[in-house]
Chain A
Amino acid sequence: MFSLTRDPIVPPVLAAAGAGGFVAFDGKVRHDHAGRTVVALDYEAFDELVLAEGRALLAEATAQFGLLEARCVHRVGRLAVGDTAVWIGVAAPHRREAFEACEWILDQLKRRVPIWKKEHFADGDSGWIGSDVTPGEAPVTEENFYSRQIRLNEVGAAGQAKLEAARVLVVGAGGLGCAAIPYLAAAGVGTLGLCDFDRVEATNLHRQVLFAARDVGKPKAALAARFAQRLNPFIAVRAHGARLTAESAPGLFQHYDLVLDCTDNFATKFLLNDTAVAMNKPLVQASLYQFEGQLHLYDPAKAGGCLRCVWPEIPPEGCVGSCAEAGVLGVVPGVFGALQAGEAIKFLLGLGEPLSDAVLLFDLRTLATTRIKRAANPHCPVCGDGAPPTEIDLDPFAPGRDFSRWTVVDLREDHEPRPLVELGSTPWRHQPLSRAAEWLAALDREQPHLFVCGRGLRSGNFARRLRREGWPHAYSLAGGVDLALKARPRSA
């Protein structure tokens, strides 16, 4: 609960049951400012906006720190030295969250909530001041934050604007993510999404340097998001704490322009690759082994191919050691995560030579780097015309999958009931299979087509026939419209 008052603040009582820690902050009018004696302060607020923003930030704090209760009272009007100007109280299951949340709320309040103060000095002088300016220090502005970067000819104001407009998703806030995230945030990537379902473990700490020993047990995505947001208040940081699945990945990818794969297992790496290819998103990937690693940039606009061009099938987990099994020197993910951030920034700025047609191998022990040229595999199962996937499962119908370049061809006959599945604005043509000889020639075989029928049998046979006849992008909806309609609520 957030409130404004013109009367002296009486600290409210927090009554949350089950709280193991209550923390309160009592912010008073100080008797001096920048070496001058203060006699009084006037606080002025834009009430509606203050209340709305104040409530929003308490709700955010409640969600982020798992609070049981959060209250804030701000006083407005004329205050004397020693009066309470703001009071914040939080209750949480444990003390650590309570302390952190209380400080976070105060920091956010000063930055986001439009309350101004006018100081009256003992010498009769007075003046309005920004509430979050530390005396003697220049305020942090976007201009001075990025000034050393904008100074680069290759960046400049135009490049900085590109970064500000960019939306980057980092999947995995482990060793790689912990190195990539701060540099992306500090560079001013305007929207930074951080996806990790995991919690900090003690065995992470030697390499996952955004986390402290006291963070063990806490969710990585929220911790990393808080770090990034503190580092750079001018960007939007979003934490995604749910496990990424084939069904949820497209919905998440649609909000971003570029994805960093900072994960640590084959299944997720291939999921990210397949989703990136399907949605035409560039993917910067790194993988590690002990003292060395591999760096890739898969750019759908270039001929360098994708992960499946090199490994068409997902290698079985455990065929090579993970960090847990084989060990890893902490600085190795640091190097590779920073390289990933560098490749992402280069890509967004159109700077230098992106690694879109090669893999970079680097070994920390010898400092040897090896570049190996990589070309698209025409028989790649996801970005080439390789078998199998003539069949597309229900994933394409998950929210956000981009079918804008596709044509859906409904093969059901006139006498059949033909319920439809919504696919955004993708054209949905009804072309009965029995009259295929009449309409087939009018379709462009180079364009992607999704053939559908009731249960997927006719469309499957038809798509396979077209593949044999030289239609590289003929697909069938597995399970047909019937299954898609049944499954929709699950993916909603």
Chain B
Amino acid sequence: MPDLLQLKVQYFAVFREQRGLGEESLASAATTPAALYAELQARHRFTLAPEMVRAAVNGAFAPLDRPLASGDTVVFIPPVAGG
């Protein structure tokens, strides 16, 4: 069992709605935002396809394959169109 990363995760828009909260701290075996999204999608039944998801790590947009480290803050952002 690899060490789990301690991460802070923030949810916006449809993610917040489907998760039922805006922010949580969790421990995960995921080492990239893509893997973390897959894990959370399975757990919380997020409806948005992974290719439509954007991630920010520590306040900046980041590729979904960027390596994560303990203590990182990950934000998942869906596309939004309302006006």
Q: Quick check: is A167 within 8 A (CB to CB) of the other chain?
A: no
B61 touching A287, Cβ below 8 Å: no
| Bound complex: CA A288 to CA B12 (Å) | 11
Which residue of B22, B60, B80 is within 8 Å of A320 (Cβ)?
B80
Count A-side interface residues using an 8 Å CB cutoff.
42
Which residue of A174, A262, A294, A373 is within 8 Å of B59 (Cβ)?
A373
A320 touching B10 in the complex, CB below 8 Å, given contacts A264-B82, A269-B81: no
| Bound complex: CA A176 to CA B12 (Å) | 20
| Bound complex: CA A59 to CA B34 (Å) | 60
Residues on A with C-beta less than 8 A from B14 are 289, 320-321, 326
Query: 8 Å CB contacts to A: which residues of B24-75?
Result: 48-49, 52, 54, 56, 59-61, 75
Residues 311-344 of A, flagged 1 when their CB comes within 8 A of B and 0 if not, give 1000101011111001010000100000000000
B83 touching A310, Cβ below 8 Å: no
Residues on B with C-beta less than 8 A from A265 are 81
B13 touching A174, Cβ below 8 Å: no
Interface residues on B, range: 20 to 34
B83 touching A323, Cβ below 8 Å: yes
| From A319, A326, A372, residue with most partner B Cβ within 10 Å | A372
Shortest distance between the CB of A83 and any CB in chain B (Å):
52
B83 touching A286, Cβ below 8 Å: yes
| Bound complex: CA A371 to CA B49 (Å) | 24
Q: Quick check: is A188 within 8 A (CB to CB) of the other chain?
A: no
Shortest distance between the CB of A62 and any CB in chain B (Å):
32
Residues on B with C-beta less than 8 A from A174 are 83
- What is A's interface to B at a CB cutoff of 8 Å? 172, 174-177, 262-266, 269, 286-290, 292-294, 310-311, 315, 317, 319-323, 326, 328, 333, 359, 361, 363, 366, 368, 370-375
- What is B's interface to A at a CB cutoff of 8 Å? 10, 12-14, 16-17, 22, 48-49, 52, 54, 56, 59-61, 75, 77-83
